Amino acid sequence: MAEDQKSVRDNVIALAMSPNGKQVVFGTTDGTLVLWDVDRRQQVSAPLAAHEDTINSLWYAPHGEKFISASDDQTIRLWNASTAMFAQDAYEVHTDGVLLAGFLADRETETIVSSSKDNTVLVWQVPTGDIEHQFRVALDSRFLVALSNDCKKLLAVSREGITIWDTISAEPIKTLSLETQTLMALCVGFSRDSSLAVLGSAECNLHIWDLDEDNLDSVPLDGDDGHRCYFVWSPDGRTIAAVTPDATLRIWDVEKRKCILKSSKTRGPIAYSPDSEVIVSLGEDGLLDICDVSAVRDL
């Protein structure tokens, strides 16, 4: 294995797949960015020194021509997806590490929502960097936040509970109070349609929060026996995939609460293809790993 491939494999922490499923980009704890062509299973370019610190998140624009990276170096960078080159100088809109940044849907002007360790959420425009509005979201030391697919909702974890925010109105929608004896969230996320939130907890359960009914389903999932480092909901809403620290990938049927695949092959992070038939990750050899899950979804 080449030294740069080993370094990326050992340090990868963020991943995003393009809307058409043709590209995937990885980010690492040392600020390196690697862009892959999925069909060819080849890197688009050599690993790039994109940031001076950990890349916490990556997010494609809805049209797929650009993506953004958010880093602990307090910057957000906008990239040309076809050339893997900067599309703009780095944006420094936060005063601490940036945890998450995504493109707000249904806007004529490209608009970004970003959340930071400085406890602020900003809604701002590209390319000017002009801030439309901002609001404060108190986070605890876990710094757990998630954006919905359209970036119109933000989920944030604090000592008081888990709050869903409307990023456009800057108002909280609802809060789930946490009882420490029953739920300690370690990872969070949304379903593709933003109607459900998923909470990975310290007791090794995935809890599904129905935001419309305001109901928390905490039934243990079959075959779940480890803390999750990463998890993702399939675009079709039928399955949830998760990776545990022992490099085990599990996939559950959401309706049946049944584990339909268990494979020790990846450390995560992971992403589903747009058609929900493939899971992409970085393999142990530092190369792109593509797991076809189309057959197991109908078991």
Give me the count of residues in the chain: 299
Is residue 47 reached through a cis peptide bond, with omega within 30 degrees of 0 on the bond before it? no
User: At 27, which amino acid appears?
Assistant: G
- pTM reported for the whole predicted model: 0.90
Q: Are 42 and 36 in contact (CB under 8 A)?
A: yes
CA distance 88 to 252: 40
What is the CATH T-level fold of the domain 1-102, as seen in this structure? Lipocalin (2.40.128)
User: At 237, which amino acid appears?
Assistant: G
User: Across-strand partners of 70?
Assistant: 57, 76
Q: Are 48 and 84 in contact (CB under 8 A)?
A: yes
CB atoms within 10 A of CB 127: 12
pLDDT tens-place string over residues 112-137: 999 999 999 999 999 999 999 999 99
Q: Rounded to the nearest 5°, which phi and psi values hold at 10?
A: -75, -20
**For the chain, percent of residues with pLDDT exceeding 90:** 54
pLDDT tens-place string over residues 83-112: 888 888 899 999 999 999 999 999 888 999
Residue 219 has pLDDT above 70, yes or no: no
Burial group, residue 39, by CB count within 10 angstroms (0-12, 13-18, 19+) = exposed
Angle at 235 between CA 264 and CA 170, to 5 degrees: 115
Instruction: Catalogue the long-range contacts made by 35-41 (C-beta closer than 8 Å, 24 or more residues apart).
Output: 35/81, 35/84, 36/288, 38/280, 38/288, 38/290, 41/287, 41/288, 41/290
What is the layout of strands, in order, in the sheet containing 248-253?
230-233, 239-243, 248-253, 258-264
What is the layout of strands, in order, in the sheet containing 196-201?
185-190, 196-201, 206-210, 215-217
> DSSP string covering 59-108, please?
EE-TTSSEEEEEETTS-EEEEETTTTEESSPPB---SS-EEEEEEPSS-S
**And the tokens for 245?**
């620290």
When the pLDDT of each residue in the chain is averaged and rounded to a whole number, the result is 87
pLDDT tens-place string over residues 238-288: 998 888 777 788 888 888 878 888 876 677 799 999 999 999 998 878 889
